[in-house]
Structure 1
Amino acid sequence: MPSQSQMDRARSLLRKYPLIDGHNDFPYMIRGWFGLDSDSSAFDLTDMPIGQTDLNRLEKGMVGAQFWSAFVPGPKHDSEASRLSILHDTLQQIDLIYRMIAKHSNVLGFAGTAEECLDTFRSGRIASLIGVEGLHQIGGCISALRLFHRLGVRYVTMCHNDHNEFVDSSNPAIPLHGGLSTEGEAVVREMNRIGMMIDLSHTSDAAQHRVLQISTAPVIFSHSSCFGLTPHARNVTDAVLAALKANGGLIMICFLPSLCRISRIGPAGLCSNETVTKPAEEAQIPASIEDVAAHIIYAAERIGYRHVGIGSDFDGMLEGPRGLDDVADYPALVAELLARGVGEGDLQNVLGGNILRVLKQVEEQAGRLKEEVNHGDMFDEVSGVWTDAQRQLLLDKGKERRSQGGVDLVI
């Protein structure tokens, strides 16, 4: 249990360094509760009656910056209409995030770069960045991926809870591509080229290894935890952690109880002095803030504090770990890490320094790739726009203009 002096120091550090959370589903909570009418008098994000996020709690939790997830669920069936509907809804969610920022510009400020993130934090507002949770949300359209970046999206998760045409998800367990499809490998290169961070949360272990082999820019896990402590398919194995360190990326530890709850069967574990010997007793012990701190330290001990961050997944769950109920509780987590001996320099990296570094490095790599003549972009297949008769008419008119010395004929 952290002391009062550690809580005071935690708050002091949060005033000094921005806490940047890698994943929060608040925009989807807003869509479900209010709809999209941000001009409605009922549209008040200050004190929400539901969920784990609102403006009051963000300020109490001293959040410095937040990646808001423009999440839309995957298709119930594979069809052109379903894909276009998901793309349509994703654009609505991106727009909703911008309108949320505009409506509360005294508290929130958009950020699309590492420098903008720091500038907004220094202005006393919460820097607001955008992520998209799954390539299913591009609607099968690579052009949409590029446009998302132009609209301010700075990471895309490669999949959600289902396989897609590019990558295998950790759920279901039976693979479709053996990791990545050929198109998936091309998408990795395209995301590197345009400066979009690649998010590997929700992907399969094989997909993670393959992306880390071919990506020329650092990648992230925006909301995952460590398989070595909590053996869940969504978590990251030690082997992938080692590859992540070599890549220069980071894992942002998730608060979802099923991903961070540490087994206490047998000898006392990292989180408590209790010894539990019966599975029935074990099932009754909830995940806790101590578990989350243990995951952060576990990852850091294996790959270094330069490769660890925080990605809560608040509002993507009904209930957080004990002691981390909502976004107001970040100071308690920082105090817990202080109580476990984590130093100020390492905390600066975990809180936000690492994700700012990765964001900047991804931007820099995109700049280098754009200078490479042979690094072509992906393109969408386009069905025939004109009939054969129309194409012939265009050719005939072109020949006619050339025969007149390049002068357009007036028809």
Structure 2
Amino acid sequence: MSLLLAVLLATPSLHDRIITLDTHLDTPVNLGRPGWSFAERHGFADTITQVDLPRMKQGGLDGGFFVIYTEQGPLTPAGYAAAKAHAWRRAAWIRAMVRENAREMELAFTPADARRIAKAGKRIVLQSIENSYPLGDSVAALRDFHETGVRMAGPVHNGDNQFADAANKGKRTWGGLSPLGREWVKEANRLGMLIDLSHASDEAFDQVLELSTAPVVLSHSGPKALFDHPRNLDDARIKRLAAKGGVIFVNSVFLAKMDARPERDQVGAELMESVSPREQREIGARHAQLEQTGPSNPVSFERYMQSLLHVLKLVGSDHVGIGMDWDGGGGLISMPDVSRLPRITAALKTAGYSDADVEKIWSGNLLRVMEQTQARASR
């Protein structure tokens, strides 16, 4: 073997050299499943999961935002209480996952933490809130979540709530933000918490963009120019987001009509109610059969890159990142889980983007907006 070849083989690839972060990992939904371990390797076809520690290592995913997601429910005291208990339970699952894998992963609260953890060879665990419904009729609890390590939050999910109108399944209750939603924006700014508008209506997006004193992000969104869906944004709004210093992290869903057969809903509902690993394997086998007859998200890798490159050409490499919605409906026909992420890095290089551009897309832009947001709060 020549010396040059030996050096090339020993040199880490670009994907391995840079910090790679995804801004929307719905993986905590799996942490409460009986017998399911984040430390063990699983398969998408049989377990309907996309992220675990072995697959993160194989795909070179250094970490990202693990999501505290709460389904929208009634805007009543009982509804708020149930949502609050659910959110704190899911937050506890995230911390337990980190404790159980302390040699492999660590909680991060700042960009400096993220860089230090990556340098130590561990996975980076940031925390976010998807849907602020659990906060109830006050913004005070946002501080409690911040104290436990949450560094990004979205005001709303599917369906309007007490803070804002939703992009999907909303009725334009408030015409954007509610009065309480405006307080929510100010409190997020005060705490130095990133504001995530991926599920907000266009009107709420416009109002937050004007009201926020820090850049805002879209943690898992895409361009309406490629597929007309309420969850996607038009080019004009994406440009305004970038002009304010924000970042859009490009999603892998809503690029084609998803397969929403009733059988899929049934499988998902049964999975959430399963009480044993055996039940989960049986449900997973049914899911695998459904995937063979037609993928839940019929989007190719090429289609995803078309979306990512469209946004990059629109606003430049300083305002784009990756947020594929893993374990929340994301994934591609030829990329069912995080184990094949180096394909994105290779495709970006083939498209002519520099190493520095690729690093910004994978983590640099996220760490920048976090730094800016936290610095403004400290002042």
Q: TM-score, normalised by structure 1?
A: 0.77
Within the candidate set 307, 313, 324, 1:301 is matched to 313
Closer, same or farther in 2 for the Cα pair 1:345/1:225, shift >3 Å? same
Identity %: 31
Within the candidate set 61, 64, 82, 1:63 is matched to 61
Closer, same or farther in 2 for the Cα pair 1:204/1:10, shift >3 Å? farther
**Partner Cα separation in structure 1 for residue 23 and residue 141 of structure 2:** 22
**Deviation, structure 1 residue 44:** 5.4
Partner of 2:20: 19
**Partner Cα separation in structure 1 for residue 177 and residue 95 of structure 2:** 33
Closer, same or farther in 2 for the Cα pair 1:329/1:184, shift >3 Å? same
Alignment of 1:39-78 (within 5 A): 43=37, 45-48=39-42, 50=47, 51-75=49-73, 77-78=74-75
Within the candidate set 109, 126, 129, 2:106 is matched to 109
User: Which 10-residue stretch deviates more, 289-298 or 143-152?
Assistant: 289-298
Partner of 2:202: 205
Unmatched segments (≥5 aa) in structure 1: 1-7, 35-40, 263-282, 369-411
Residues 1:327 and 2:327 aligned together: no
Write the letter of the residue equivalent to 2:40.
Answer: T
**Partner Cα separation in structure 2 for residue 88 and residue 9 of structure 1:** 49
Partner of 1:365: 376
Partner of 2:131: 134
Write the letter of the residue equivalent to 1:330.
Answer: L
**Partner Cα separation in structure 2 for residue 101 and residue 208 of structure 1:** 33
Partner of 1:388: none
Residues 1:80 and 2:77 aligned together: yes
Alignment of 1:270-281 (within 5 A): none
SS of alignment partner, residue 70 of structure 1:
strand
Tell me, yes or no, if the aligned pair for 2:194 and 2:217 is still in contact at 8 Å. Answer: yes
**Partner Cα separation in structure 1 for residue 171 and residue 105 of structure 2:** 42
TM-align CA RMSD: 2.2
Write the letter of the residue equivalent to 1:324.
Answer: M
Closer, same or farther in 2 for the Cα pair 1:285/1:233, shift >3 Å? closer
Tell me, yes or no, if the aligned pair for 2:160 and 2:170 is still in contact at 8 Å. Answer: no
**Partner Cα separation in structure 2 for residue 9 and residue 242 of structure 1:** 41
Write the letter of the residue equivalent to 2:368.
Answer: R
**Deviation, structure 1 residue 233:** 0.6
Closer, same or farther in 2 for the Cα pair 1:284/1:213, shift >3 Å? closer
Residues 1:260 and 2:255 aligned together: yes
Tell me, yes or no, if the aligned pair for 2:325 and 2:331 is still in contact at 8 Å. Answer: no
Please list the CA deviations of residues 226-271 of structure 1 after superposition, one character each: whole Å capped at 9, or x if unmatched.
1111111101111111110121010001112xx1349xxxxxxxxx
Tell me, yes or no, if the aligned pair for 2:214 and 2:373 is still in contact at 8 Å. Answer: yes
Residues 1:168 and 2:168 aligned together: no
Residues 1:156 and 2:153 aligned together: yes
**Deviation, structure 1 residue 183:** 1.8
SS of alignment partner, residue 163 of structure 2:
coil
Unmatched segments (≥5 aa) in structure 2: 1-8, 258-294
Partner of 1:393: none
Question: In the comparison of the two structures, how many residue pairs are matched?
Answer: 330
Tell me, yes or no, if the aligned pair for 2:299 and 2:333 is still in contact at 8 Å. Answer: yes
Tell me, yes or no, if the aligned pair for 1:261 and 1:288 is still in contact at 8 Å. Answer: no
Please list the CA deviations of residues 346-370 of structure 1 after superposition, one character each: whole Å capped at 9, or x if unmatched.
11110000000001000011112xx
**Deviation, structure 1 residue 300:** 1.4
Tell me, yes or no, if the aligned pair for 1:10 and 1:335 is still in contact at 8 Å. Answer: no
Closer, same or farther in 2 for the Cα pair 1:166/1:17, shift >3 Å? same
**Partner Cα separation in structure 2 for residue 56 and residue 186 of structure 1:** 41
Write the letter of the residue equivalent to 2:363.
Answer: G
SS of alignment partner, residue 365 of structure 1:
helix
Write the letter of the residue equivalent to 2:135.
Answer: I
Partner of 1:267: none
Q: TM-score, normalised by structure 2?
A: 0.83
Tell me, yes or no, if the aligned pair for 2:38 and 2:97 is still in contact at 8 Å. Answer: no
**Deviation, structure 1 residue 139:** 2.7
Closer, same or farther in 2 for the Cα pair 1:167/1:9, shift >3 Å? farther
**Deviation, structure 1 residue 182:** 1.9
Write the letter of the residue equivalent to 2:88.
Answer: L
Larger radius of gyration: 1
**Partner Cα separation in structure 2 for residue 306 and residue 42 of structure 1:** 38
**Partner Cα separation in structure 2 for residue 151 and residue 109 of structure 1:** 14
SS of alignment partner, residue 69 of structure 2:
coil
Closer, same or farther in 2 for the Cα pair 1:10/1:195, shift >3 Å? farther
**Deviation, structure 1 residue 92:** 1.1
Residues 1:289 and 2:301 aligned together: yes
Residues 1:351 and 2:362 aligned together: yes
SS of alignment partner, residue 210 of structure 1:
helix
